[in-house]
């Protein structure tokens, strides 16, 4: 089954558009994990097990593991998701982008070393830099379009002109290029921040039913109702609404897994109320 097929299936079976982000921050682990050499794996595994019923996918952020030297914990965590929660796809948030020979190694890293079903990628280097990811037809390529951060407009809103076309913001050109030129295997999705509901609406109009990964609710303050209203696809799906800190660090005490489950359930219900 491809990433996109698994995602669509999961939207239905879980009745959820929630993407649970996995951004471990050791200073927020409960005291009971202090001194545990495998604390990052144990913490994330418990978050995964508690939130799985409410998740359409998981999104570990690679920097949060690599900065801790916890790459092996990440590899085991992805394997744990596949073995204990079969059918829930994993997006490795790595935002890769480089010349083709290096991009090839990044694709091997994401899909073969870590076992991810999809990876986030930066389109700045152009189509050839994404080819090693795009050519893995069973895997997903989630391409940055209009990011959630305050500086997103610095470059992504610059007006670009193509021959015969009128000027429009770069992020719209990215969206159109992905739909027209890079989605030959039907394995692309886009990142658009929840903090930009108008841009979400515009991107949805360009990409049809293509899945949108939408980070920025929870800790970044994005408005869930506006996201769903503006960016759901025609059938009321099409979204992976991602929240990391607000779910995984909802409590810093021993009830952290229960608190994470409650936060994920609450987000699922808030999304579903608008579908």
Ligand X SMILES: O=c1ccn([C@@H]2O[C@H](COP(=O)(O)O)[C@@H](O)[C@H]2O)c(=O)[nH]1
Give the residue with the Cβ less far from ligand X, 191 or 200.
191
Partners of residue 21 on adjacent β-strands: 59
Give yes or no: 95 in active site. yes
Instruction: Select from 156, 172, 230, 244 the one that contacts ligand X (CB under 6 A).
Output: 244
Contact 58, 10 (CB under 8 A): no
Please identify, among the stretches 30-38, 65-73, 158-166, 237-245, the one whose residues bind ligand X according to the rule CB under 6 A.
237-245
Q: Pattern 51-80, binding to ligand X, x per CB under 6 A? A: ----------x-------------------
Active-site pick, 8, 95, 139, 232:
95
Cβ at position 65, least distance to ligand X in Å: 11
Residues from 81 through 120 that contact ligand X (CB under 6 A): 93
Based on CB atoms, which residue is closest to ligand X, 103 or 192?
192
148 binds ligand X (CB under 6 A): yes
What is the Cα Rg of the chain in Å?
A: 18
Q: Does 23 bind ligand X (CB under 6 A)?
A: yes
Residue 95 or residue 185: which is nearer to ligand X going by CB? 95
What does the angle CA 130 – CA 136 – CA 138 come to, to the nearest 5 degrees?
Answer: 130
Residue 243 binds ligand X (CB under 6 A): yes
Rounded to 5 degrees, what angle do the CA atoms 71, 137, 231 make? 85
- Least gap, CB of 218 to ligand X (angstroms): 5
**Least CB distance to ligand X at residue 96 (A):** 13
Instruction: Tell me the site size for ligand X, rule CB under 6 A.
Output: 17
> Closest Cα to residue 86, out of 145, 1, 152, 16?
1
Q: Which stretch binds ligand X (CB under 6 A): 28-36, 48-56, 107-115, 238-246?
A: 238-246
x/- mask, ligand X, residues 201-230, rule CB under 6 A, reads --------------xx-xxx----------
In whole angstroms, how close is the CB of 191 to ligand X at the nearest point? Answer: 5
Residues in contact with ligand X by the rule CB under 6 A: 21, 23, 61, 93, 147-148, 191, 193, 215-216, 218-220, 242-245
């Amino acid at each position: 089954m491809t990433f996109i097929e698994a995602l669509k299936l999961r939207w239905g079976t879980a009745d959820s558009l929630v993407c649970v982000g996995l951004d471990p921050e050791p200073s927020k682990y409960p005291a009971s994990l202090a001194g545990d050499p495998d604390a990052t794996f144990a913490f994330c595994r418990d978050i995964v097990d508690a939130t799985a019923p409410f998740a359409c996918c998981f999104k570990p952020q690679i920097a949060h593991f690599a900065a801790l030297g916890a790459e092996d914990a990440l590899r085991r965590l992805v394997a744990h998701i596949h073995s204990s929660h079969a059918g829930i796809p994993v997006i490795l948030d790595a935002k890769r982008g480089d010349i083709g020979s290096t991009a090839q190694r990044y694709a091997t890293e994401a899909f073969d070393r870590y076992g991810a079903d999809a990876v986030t990628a930066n389109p700045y280097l152009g189509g050839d830099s994404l080819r090693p990811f795009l050519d893995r037809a069973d895997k997903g390529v989630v391409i940055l379009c209009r990011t959630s951060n305050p500086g997103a407009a610095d470059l992504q809103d610059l007006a670009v002109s193509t021959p015969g076309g009128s000027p429009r913001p770069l992020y719209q050109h990215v969206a159109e290029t992905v739909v027209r030129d890079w989605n030959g295997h039907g394995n692309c999705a886009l990142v658009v921040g929840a903090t930009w509901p108008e841009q979400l609406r515009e991107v949805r109009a360009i990409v049809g039913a293509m899945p949108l990964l939408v980070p920025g609710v929870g800790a970044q303050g994005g408005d869930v109702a506006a996201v769903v209203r503006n960016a759901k696809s025609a059938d009321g799906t099409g979204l992976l609404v991602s929240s990391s800190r607000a779910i995984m660090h909802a409590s810093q005490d021993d009830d952290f897994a229960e608190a994470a489950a409650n936060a994920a359930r609450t987000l699922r219900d808030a999304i579903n109320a608008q579908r």
